[in-house]
Amino acid sequence: MYHRAIPSINAGSMADIAFLLLVFFLVTTTLDQDLGIKTVLPPINPEANPSPRGDQNVLEILINGADELMIEGERKNFADIKSEVRNFYTNPDERSDLPRLKLITPALCKENLGKTSNAHLNSSKSWNAWKTRLESTELIGPFKELPKNAVISLQNDRSTSYATYILVQNELNAGLNALRNECSEKHFGMPYGELDENNPEDRLKIRAIRMAFPRRISEAEPVALEP
């Protein structure tokens, strides 16, 4: 009896098709993206180590695992963050539990520049710092300066939701930006956010505003906080 051989199937083209489909799905599939905050961390300041709780130069903000907010040991609403930031930076009522601000005037800057010059420290950080302060007072007038170790200390629980963490960050930034905007509107007639860092004149204005209202936010390692 005659037996006809069964021809083999060429699977090479199927492999090509499978590869093309894989590439197609990789290119067209939309992957979930994590949300984040565009921010620049402040430079390390060895003199600005957060002090124990109760220090007038530290504003302690805690978020526990239940997404509850504590400011200086008291339960607060998230809407309270802006006013707490304002009080910390300005201390309008000169409260003893808030930082003692130092009034920076042109006369004080010139006096300290003279002292450092007489000590032959023209190139020192101290001389440059007082020179920057003097240039700032020429743009925005006398301003009150935070102590070097004044800081807003933010700490959250390991179980804090990411949405709550983002909310607190946004409120902190909003509180600081509100102060900067007021200063910019008062002295330059425009919001702080509209100043252009690529413009030499605006860059000096930005530096002066940041001198008066620096970003002093420190984030601690997440821990297990009591509810």
Q: What is the pLDDT of residues 163-222, one digit of tens each?
A: 999 999 999 999 999 999 999 999 999 999 999 999 999 999 999 999 999 999 888 776
Does pLDDT of 53 surpass 50? no
The pLDDT score that the predictor gives to residue 124 is 77
Q: How is the chain split into domains, by residue range? A: 43-99+149-187+217-227
Q: Which of 27-41, 106-120, 124-138 has the highest mean pLDDT?
A: 124-138
Does pLDDT of 28 surpass 70? yes
Does pLDDT of 19 surpass 60? yes
- The CA distance from 90 to 61, in Å, is 18
Quickly list H helices, the chain: 12-28, 81-90, 106-118, 125-140, 162-188, 200-212
Range with the lowest mean pLDDT among 5-9, 45-49, 157-161?
45-49
Pairing of strands 69-71, 74-76: antiparallel
142, 105 Cβ separation under 8 angstroms: yes
Q: Could you report the per-residue pLDDT of 95-108, keeping only the tens digit for each?
A: 999 999 999 999 99
- The CA distance from 48 to 217, in Å, is 11
90, 145 Cβ separation under 8 angstroms: no
Which residues contact residue 109 at a Cβ distance below 8 angstroms, ignoring those fewer than 6 apart?
130, 131, 133, 134, 137
92, 181 Cβ separation under 8 angstroms: no
Per-residue burial over 156-190, b = 16 or more CB atoms within 10 Å of its CB, e = otherwise? bbeebeeebbebbbebbbebbbbbbbebbeeebee
pLDDT-derived band at 32, boundaries 50, 70, 90: low
Q: Show the tokens assigned to 113.
A: 């520049």
Class of residue 137 by CB neighbours under 10 A (exposed 0-12, middle 13-18, buried 19+):
buried
- The CA distance from 68 to 79, in Å, is 12
Does pLDDT of 45 surpass 50? no
More confident residue, 143 or 13: 143
Does pLDDT of 227 surpass 70? no
Q: Show the tokens assigned to 30.
A: 């939309």
**Is the model's pTM score more than 0.85?**
no
Chain-centre distance of CA 189, in angstroms?
A: 25
Q: Show the tokens assigned to 4.
A: 């006809």
Q: Show the tokens assigned to 95.
A: 């409260």
Average pLDDT of the chain?
82
Does pLDDT of 49 surpass 50? no
